[in-house]
Chains A and B, each alone.
Chain A
Amino acid sequence: MMCSLFIEDDDDILLHSEHGVLGHGRTARTQDEVDPSLASAGRQPLVPRPGMVVMDHAESFALIRGGHLDATILGAFQVSAQGDLANFWLPGAVAGAIGGAQDLAFCARRVVVAMQLLPRPRRFVNRLDLEMTAPRCVDRLVTDIGVIDLEDGKAIVRELVPGWRLEDAQRLTEVELVAAPEGIAEVTLKSDRDDLWNAA
């Protein structure tokens, strides 16, 4: 959800909230802008935008399942080198939280995982230890240390944060990392909503 802060209002990127809102505008900034019936799936109040459409949950998941979404960005507990995703069942849990993640992971055309590699071990592994959400679905990892693409079982490092080298990143994972053929770029972030980013 934080990703939406990096989208400009005139970017014509249609954001899809699983509970049935497509193409909404930014989050509301003042109380006057708040409509009690319009919120993101994470309860952020949203403002409408021309082109926005609301639909019921079944239609919303038909969009997802039918492969009509260009991309999805999901969180993960664990990802394997083959792109297997685990994000719904914590170790030792008696229950899970799968929500819309499985439909997205199986059916979106491109699956991007946003996760942190630094604080916990065994996030990016050769074989999943946790219950799998979907097999071979993850195309890209956007992490706290850089961007890694998963292509044909290879983990290709495209970007790293300033000051990091491939060997630094390699210490965080058992998966063999490969430098992108065009070289590893430095991560740059751009948002005009730094106030929101910092507040989060």
Chain B
Amino acid sequence: MINKVVESAAKAVADIESGAMIAFGGFVGVPGVPSTLIKAIAERGLRDLTIIACESGRGRAGAQSYGTRRGDQPYIPEPEDGVYPVGYLAELGQVSKAITTFSSINNPNADGPLEAGVRRGDVEIELIGQGSLCERLRCGRAGLGGVYTPVGAGTKIGAGKDIRHFDGVPHVLETALRPDFAIISAYQADRFGNLIYRHGARTTNPVVAGSGKVTIVEVEEVVDYLDPQHIVTPGPYVDRIVLSDRRLMVR
């Protein structure tokens, strides 16, 4: 019987080794970050990780203060002290390379964990736009070598990359990313690894799913049945399922 549910996050990430390339789903500041798995990876005390993520410029403190409080507007009742963003791994010095769209905290008076690493000389950053990052991961999942996009041609981001003209417009070749592990979060899973997401917590999670040789998902709930017409990520992309510590919708 297929059952991809693993009893703990620690067990699910136990075979990730130093030097691994790991892609993460989620977008810091909005729901959908695989916080439980990030914490479990951090606890392994690895080194020289290459991380691929939309946002990895902020550590734990930055993730909590991201988004300023304005007036009396209500805020998302996340248990903020339980959030472990991807940047946490950089904060712990476990990262030697980041492929990301936000590597900076854009504050001229302070450095984020990746920026501090670059100044020390032990972190390398490959900055790329979100659309191109997603396509590179999608190529990894879909078995493609890469895509040509007009985005970035003639800028620092496109420098050194192969250029081809389509309809007279320069396009940049963005090559596939095929990480060792893909770490994502979803709302519900069934035992086959079929996944659905909730609202804006979907983010890059379905894009990262299946890009890695091994995909691990944390979910709020494992259910017996998901409506096949509503499944977003098909089970074959998913290898391991764990329950999230941060169950925002299921109480």
Contact = CB atoms under 8 A, between A and B. Distances in A.
Interface of A: 17-21, 27-31, 33-46, 48, 54-58, 61-62, 64-65, 88-90, 92-103, 106-107, 131-135, 195-196, 198-200
B125 A55 contact: no
Given A43-B67, A94-B119, 13 more contacts: A19-B27, A54-B200, A57-B207, A58-B138, A58-B207, A65-B131, A93-B106, A98-B130, A98-B157, A102-B157, A196-B70, A196-B71, A196-B73
Interface in B171-189: 187
Contacts of A196: 70-71, 73
Interface stretch (B4-12, B38-46, B148-156): B148-156
Given A28-B74, A45-B76, A103 B103 contact: no
Given A20-B203, A37-B200, A102-B151, A97 B102 contact: yes
Interface in B63-77: 66-67, 70-77
15 contacts: A19-B203, A29-B74, A36-B248, A37-B249, A39-B29, A43-B75, A57-B54, A58-B138, A64-B131, A98-B101, A100-B101, A100-B130, A102-B155, A135-B154, A196-B71
Interface of B: 27, 29-32, 54, 57, 66-67, 70-78, 101-106, 108, 111-112, 114-115, 118-119, 125, 127-132, 134-135, 137-138, 149-152, 154-157, 187, 197-207, 232, 248-249
Chain B contact residues: helix, strand, loop or mixed: loop
A94 B130 contact: no
B33 to A, nearest CB: 11
A183 B223 CA distance: 64
Given A37-B199, A38-B200, A97 B103 contact: yes
A94 B108 CA distance: 10
Given A56-B232, A94-B119, A200-B71, A18 B103 contact: no
Given A20-B203, A41-B27, A94 B115 contact: yes
Contacts of A132: 154-156
Nearest to B135: A58
B96 to A, nearest CB: 15
A199 B72 contact: yes
Given A17-B200, A55-B202, A95 B57 contact: yes
Contact of B151 (A21, A30, A103): A103
A172 B108 CA distance: 23
B74 A54 contact: no
Given A42-B29, A98-B101, A103-B130, A34 B74 contact: yes
